[in-house]
Amino acid sequence: MNAPDQRHDWTDANQRLMVAELARIKACMVGESQETAIATADKIRAVLSSQSAIDRLVDCFDLSTFERDVLLLCAGVEMDANLALLCATTQNKPLQTYATFSLALASLEEPHWSALSPIRPLRRWRLIEVSDEASLANARLRIEERVLHFLAGINYLDTRLEPLLKIRGVAKTLAIAQLETAQAIFEGLHERNAPVPVIQLLGDDRDGQADIAASVAAKLGMQLLILHAEDIPAGVHERNAFAVLWQRESTLLSSALLIECHEQENVTAARLAEDLSGLLFIASNDPLELQRSTLRFTVNKPEAKDQKHLWQQALGSATTKLNDSLDGVASQYRLSAQTILSTGAEISSAINASDKPDELLWQVCRTLGRRQLDDLAQRVEPTSRWDDLILPEHQKLVLSQVASHVRNRLKVCKEWGFARKSARGLGLSTLFAGESGTGKTMAAEVLANELHLDLYRIDLSSVVSKYIGETEKNLRKVFDAAEESGVILLFDEADSLFGKRSEVKDSHDRYANIEVSYLLQRMEAYTGLAILTTNLKTSLDTAFQRRLRFVVQFTFPDTEQREAIWRSVFPDTTPTRDLDYRKLAQLQVAGGNIRNIALNAAFLAADAGEVVNMVHLLHAAHGEGSKRERPLTDAETRGWV
């Protein structure tokens, strides 16, 4: 409660100290005794709660006695009208009410010419500016406005840097792994006697990287500011100017810097890092090669166990209303600690008041996950459920096992220790193989509904690129976003993307094989459910087939199954009359074709103002046969009308 009063007392004392210091400068300029001013300043220093602004500048920038007084002289011209007039009188130039270097050399104690050299602190750190109007000795000296305000006790981020930098507060809660990393960095900094190294935070957790950096900075009595790498000036001169301003600001504000960079800005960030000193963090997916001393730490999104603990903290008493959804959410989604904490705080009241709290939590997480993938893939709204899926019992059993593996992944991999044995092969890559229309996409929808997960179809045309290396970059974006979003990935016609590697005859073959190899690695490392569909199972690379957890063969439906499909294909609200499902089942078509025929028949009936009957279905069936270039036989449609 005393902090505001203490700050006010310091500001008042600091300003009185500046008055005493300027009085000393004026005495020095006219050749009078400085003892009274020095004694007054010493008394004020004795009661200051912390170091005065001018003394801090002297210590931080290692100013000599003469440089200190030059800075005070320039500040006094702005603060004290009498001192400005004294400058004009001393130089015998009535209009020259400003300081020059020749005036400082002639009037101040312990003068030295090097004070204004570009490598000395006054100009190196832009504490003062030298006008280009005349020679160096007679040029006007002006104190930087930012430094002037600092001497007056007003400390703020330089307005030239303010649009580029963002203050990051200290998070109230960190995941256990993040706390351990922050402590390791803190201890690593204290163990080194060499200059402060660059701290590289590598991984996919942007929020976690910033939280760790802010935590370490706070332990060292500093605040953290964040710079996005895309905002770093590209030109050499502009970048050098930024580096100088930042290093001055980091001293005045006691701040550390975190550069957040994406892959394409790594080079720019590395160049800036070489020009900076002090505590610097760099957050990126991959390491940057620097000439400076570097410490590297991996910061990925919290593991499932940590995520569950964070949800419990965030939801508080609302956790008791949930059943097993916390385990499912923690294992399926990869969210940052801050996302979990902020989301949990927002929805805790709603969960307490909800009749279906588990569904509410799942829906919120699904909404969070969509932010990443909506621009990279096509979201499929799943409408099919188990009752809609007409398959042999064995295939349904395998699909049930797929769902079971997703639900119990946290328990088996983490709690039962399979993840500690090996991180490879823990993904759920599943192949759906069979002819077109046999239910592969419908089965994916059923799993999405069963698991309360979003289903995204990967558009191969937007992923595969003719440019070398671009396909891998596109796939990386998809998989990285999918890891965080907790979605089911659906690769339709996967044989075109996951085909067999060919014999290398030229550079195109080599890079095509690299694409397939990269896909194999990502599929094996992907922790979510990825479903691949193909009409040509034999076209898939054998190494890829070995990495599949499940293979479901979708067979062409027999007569009994076709009849079941016909009975379920029409919605309850569709008007029908005299439909003979046994005769309809004679038609040798798959479920997808049956749905097309039923839909087209419904349009024919609606246009004729009639209810759907066998006549409409016959016309629609012939149309489907023509589309498939396979005319219907008399045996297939005998007795329909």
Q: Where are the domains of the chain?
A: 3-151, 165-298, 304-354, 386-554, 559-637
Give the pLDDT confidence score for residue 264 in this predicted structure.
Answer: 62
pLDDT in tens, 544-581: 667 778 889 998 999 999 999 999 999 999 999 999 99
Give the pLDDT confidence score for residue 466 in this predicted structure.
Answer: 60
Structure tokens at 207: 């929020």
Give the pLDDT confidence score for residue 507 in this predicted structure.
Answer: 44
Beta bridge partners of 457: 378, 490
Specify the pTM: 0.75
Beta bridge partners of 228: 260
Q: Please state, in angstroms and rounded to a whole number, the distance separating the CA atoms of residues 633 and 635.
A: 5
Beta bridge partners of 433: 534, 553
Q: State the fold for domain 165-298.
A: Rossmann fold (3.40.50)
| Under 8 Å between Cβ of 54 and 17 | yes
Q: Please state, in angstroms and rounded to a whole number, the distance separating the CA atoms of residues 545 and 554.
A: 16
Q: Please state, in angstroms and rounded to a whole number, the distance separating the CA atoms of residues 324 and 452.
A: 13
pLDDT in tens, 617-637: 999 998 888 887 788 888 888
Q: What is the 3-state secondary structure (H, E, C) of 116-162?
A: HCCCCHHHHCCCEEECCCCCCCCCEEEECHHHHHHHCCCCCCCCCCC
Which helix (H) or strand (E) covers residue 2, if one does?
none
Q: Please state, in angstroms and rounded to a whole number, the distance separating the CA atoms of residues 71 and 126.
A: 11
559-637: CATH number: 1.10.8.60
Q: Do domains 165-298 and 559-637 have the same CATH topology?
A: no
| CA-based nearest residue to 440, from 492, 405, 379, 402 | 492
Q: Please state, in angstroms and rounded to a whole number, the distance separating the CA atoms of residues 592 and 641.
A: 23
Torsion on CA atoms 168, 173, 179, 183, rounded to nearest 10 = 60
| CA-based nearest residue to 174, from 331, 329, 299, 330 | 299
CA atoms within 13 A on the CB side of 69: 20
pLDDT in tens, 163-221: 999 999 998 888 889 999 999 999 888 876 667 889 999 988 889 999 999 999 999 99
Beta bridge partners of 429: 530
Give the pLDDT confidence score for residue 135 in this predicted structure.
Answer: 82
Low-confidence stretches of the chain (pLDDT beneath 50): 1-4, 501-511
Q: State the fold for domain 386-554.
A: Rossmann fold (3.40.50)
